[in-house]
Amino acid sequence: MTEPDISVVTPSYNQATYLRDNLDSIERQIYNNVEHIILDGGSTDGSQSIIEAYADRVPYDVIWRSEPDDGQSAAINEGFDRATGDIIAWLNSDDLYFDTTVFSRVAAWFGKSDVDVLYGDLAYVDEHSRVTEVDVRPKFDRAKLAHRILIGQPATFFRQEVLESERLDTDLEYCMDYEFWVRLSEKYDFEHVRDIFAGFRRHELQKTDNMGPVNEEAELMLQNYSDQLPPTKNVYTTNAVTEARRLSATLSESVRLTLNPPMLAFDGEIAPLPELLTNVGPNVGDIQKVLRRVR
């Protein structure tokens, strides 16, 4: 059977420090049918030369430009406009795909399911490209979108049909992905798989480092959808149970990862098991999720 074409959209601006890991994680995929669309906003930190060398080196199509644009969401939408793959994803320039067979596994999942949007689990990666934590995401439940983000954006893939008419809201600065999930979930089927697809980079310069504005924008966005999202009964209990299940699954996945480490798709390393287990939640953010947005 012919492998489906996979298009990855990468918005970037002055991320040369982490950009190589991003590009490496796509170049090292053991997969043939790849298209990478890179929308650089006119970086001044050497990103352009990194992208140019990458585009000249790899055997698959790299479509890129570097010029001032209207911001991250507009750049992603431009990438969606230009993507030709059967499966499409977006991967921010400081994030990365986890191991060398992610694309093969994603294609296989889509091949045996009618799902429209597929999302997996995340690994958190620090500034030195060390995997410090595993994040097993919850099973999809549209009612829960009213009070928590279920989906890890770097680990999410779409069928091409989903993006024929859907685009990010360019008026949102922080929670454009969250709003996208809420809106898409009205019409499309989502599915979670227990599989680490991507690494989410944690560093001090990331846009969501200050959660105050992020939470404020998310609350305003959710108010606009308050009449469209189904109500959830016993939110405290529901969130607590979800976090307990995630904790158990994350412990199990952390052990599995250290006993059977995959071939990473970037120049990094997995922290020792005691460190991974130390970082397993619930942390303050998880507790806040349990307590937020009673409906």
Question: What pLDDT score was predicted for residue 294?
Answer: 42
The domain made up of 6-291 is a member of CATH 3.90.550.10: yes
For the segment 217-269, what is each residue's pLDDT rounded down to a tens digit?
999 999 999 888 887 777 878 888 888 999 999 999 999 999 999 999 999 99
How many CB atoms are located within 10 Å of the residue 54 CB? 20
Helix (H), strand (E) at residue 217: helix 211-224
Question: DSSP 3-state assignment of 158?
Answer: strand
Domain ranges within the chain, ordered by starting residue? 6-291
**Segments of the chain scoring below 70 in pLDDT:** 1, 206-210, 282-295
Encoding tokens for residue 190? Answer: 């989502």
Residue-level pLDDT at 101:
98
- As a whole number of angstroms, the distance between CA 257 and CA 30 comes to 20
pTM given for the model = 0.93
